[in-house]
Structure 1
Amino acid sequence: MTLDLTILPLAFRFTSPGPIVFQLGPITVRWYGLLIATAVLLGVTLSQYLAKRRHVNPDLLSDLSIWLIIGAIPFARLYYVIFQWAEYARNPGKIIAIWEGGIAIHGAIIGGTLAALIFCKLKKVAFWQMADLVAPSLILGQAIGRWGNFFNSEAFGSPTNLPWKLYIPRDRRPPDFLNVEYFHPTFLYESIWDLGVFALLLTLFFRSLQQNKSKLKVGTLFLIYLAAYSLGRLWIEGLRTDSLMLGPLRIAQFISLIGIGLGILGLWWLYLKNRPLPDVVAAVDETENAG
């Protein structure tokens, strides 16, 4: 990343060095793949640590992570391809080229949730317990993964001349903005927002473990994640120039509104109606699975 300090004393611009970390013969290591691998490794480590603090067998989280990857990545790609089908119909060989970018986090959430539901059913453990333990890792992974968009020069926003503007190479610009060089770094906005949600979830988690602090009801962390992430994505998506569309509708904004509604409705059910979420009574056996 290069920094241009000629505009204002504290101003700078982002310029991607390109999508490739290094090449060694036929082996090409790309930033996108490296960041995803890093996010998975950190996410599994963190979720296992949180599981221990809640007296849940951490091995369950390592097993679940495999299911999440199997469910999330194909669905993230499928979701993106479906809404960009006109492009991929002309280039079917590009459908599997996930290393070039083009995955949708909402598709990953859907696929991961389905995989987690199946896993929890087979293992006879509480889905909402597992969801709480995974939520902080999930939002951290999203914060890290967004930088893949930076290196690929994609998922940027509308033109801007703000001090933190993002330079986009001409061959990566939308047809309507070929003569525009600088755009909103929406990848950065979402990464910062995700880190804020991550900090909130961890704060709530550890405060709930302290004596004389009210305990969080099972499902709270995941519901807060769902509502908080969706709130940020709702306004950030409005800045982007490459949104997946269904007619005049930005799909990500529509899904975000659903996420906000479900998160708020779930929290209302837990705390104002004072009722447990489904599956909570099947919580992990702390004696058998203590770690």
Structure 2
Amino acid sequence: MTTLYIPSPSEGVWHIGLFPLRAYALCIIAGIIAAVWLAEKRWARRGGEPGRIQDIALWAVPFGIVGGRLYHVITDPELYFGAGGRPIEALYIWNGGLGIWGAITLGALGAWIGARRAGAPFGEVAAVLAPAIPLAQAIGRWGNWWNQELFGRPTQLPWGLQISPDKRPEGYESFATFHPTFLYESLWDLGVVGLVLWIEARFKITGGRLFAIYVMGYTAGRGWIEYLRIDTVNHVLGLRLNMWTSVIAFAAAAAYFALATRRPKASSTALEAAAADPVQ
């Protein structure tokens, strides 16, 4: 065992009377708060009415949480409905298991509904959320550290993550330190935040195209991080399902970006038109 390593928390739940306070939930909540704060700041700089993003978040956040859990359960049903599984635990989101792609898909639907109800241009909403979502992801990923989950292969690197014996998966019981994939993704997400903000300022890209840059940036990192992980997951053609999802999402975002960039200004979509005008 290496002499240098990142320790894992001894526990991630504290009981205040009968109420369990879970670190995983706190990380998710902190990420949401940070994302709404950043998006509100960006919305205000565009001349938007204060509080509008918070109103939209009231729709987007619940939709995103439901979508994230659905994606996790649908892609790993044997964890809950297989032999020895407990279907009721599919509802236990505090134990971890929120798939980002389900969260983004249903979260986007919730944001669209919220934007429609608030009378806000959805293109501008997508633009202000483009760096805010990876910020939320960067903070939320620390919930995996508290739960000692979703770590990578064994490693002797000095930043290896020490995992408790009872948390080590079958076949890896003799290893003590593993790649801290939660940390890799958290740092990558912060890099995506910076990338989106830099591209927005440097090239004046906004609307749906800016959101597409976030998707491409995130999926580029998620691919190699997913390759390191050893948690149980379904495979398709020899690759982890989440790797295929990342490839497809990257391709779709790149195609959208290319098509939207080539579209003549005169025939631009409502997303691009909203980005060109002051927010009402």
TM-score w.r.t. structure 2 length?
A: 0.89
Q: 1:66 and 2:58 equivalent?
A: yes
Q: Contact 1:55 / 1:286 at 8 angstroms: preserved in 2? A: no
* Cα deviations by residue, 1:225-257 (Å, 9 ceiling, x for unpaired): 010000000111000001531454311111111
Displacement of 1:128 after TM fit? 2.1
* Cα deviations by residue, 1:175-228 (Å, 9 ceiling, x for unpaired): 1211211111111110010000111222334x26xxxxx532422321110100
The alignment covers a number of residue pairs equal to 275
Q: Secondary structure at the match of 2:153?
A: coil
Alignment partner, residue 72 of structure 2: 80
- 1:1-291 correspondence runs (5 A): 7=3, 12-20=4-12, 22-89=14-81, 90-205=85-200, 207=201, 215-242=204-231, 244-247=233-236, 248-274=238-264, 278-280=269-271, 283=274, 289=280
Residue 50 of structure 2 aligns with an amino acid whose one-letter code is P
Deviates more, 1:111-120 or 1:134-143: 111-120
Displacement of 1:139 after TM fit? 0.3
Q: Contact 1:71 / 1:114 at 8 angstroms: preserved in 2? A: yes
Per the alignment, do residues 222 and 216 of structure 1 end up closer, same or farther by CA in structure 2, a change over 3 Å counting?
A: same
Displacement of 1:262 after TM fit? 1.9
State the distance in 2 between where 1:194 and 1:226 align.
Answer: 11
State the distance in 1 between where 2:147 and 2:71 align.
Answer: 19
Per the alignment, do residues 141 and 18 of structure 1 end up closer, same or farther by CA in structure 2, a change over 3 Å counting?
A: farther
The CA RMSD measured in Å over matched residues stands at: 2.4
State the distance in 2 between where 1:224 and 1:251 align.
Answer: 22
Displacement of 1:273 after TM fit? 4.5
Where does structure 1 lack aligned partners over 5 or more consecutive residues?
A: 209-213
Displacement of 1:24 after TM fit? 1.8
State the distance in 2 between where 1:228 and 1:167 align.
Answer: 29
State the distance in 2 between where 1:67 and 1:122 align.
Answer: 10
State the distance in 2 between where 1:107 and 1:288 align.
Answer: 29
Identity across aligned pairs (percent)? 36
Displacement of 1:60 after TM fit? 2.1
Q: Contact 1:124 / 1:282 at 8 angstroms: preserved in 2? A: no
Q: Secondary structure at the match of 1:22?
A: strand
Q: Contact 1:39 / 1:144 at 8 angstroms: preserved in 2? A: yes
Q: Secondary structure at the match of 1:28?
A: strand
Residue 279 of structure 1 aligns with an amino acid whose one-letter code is A
Per the alignment, do residues 194 and 69 of structure 1 end up closer, same or farther by CA in structure 2, a change over 3 Å counting?
A: same
Residue 249 of structure 2 aligns with an amino acid whose one-letter code is G
State the distance in 2 between where 1:285 and 1:261 align.
Answer: 26
* Cα deviations by residue, 1:57-96 (Å, 9 ceiling, x for unpaired): 2322111111111111011111111222122122122111
State the distance in 2 between where 1:201 and 1:226 align.
Answer: 10
Residue 245 of structure 2 aligns with an amino acid whose one-letter code is I
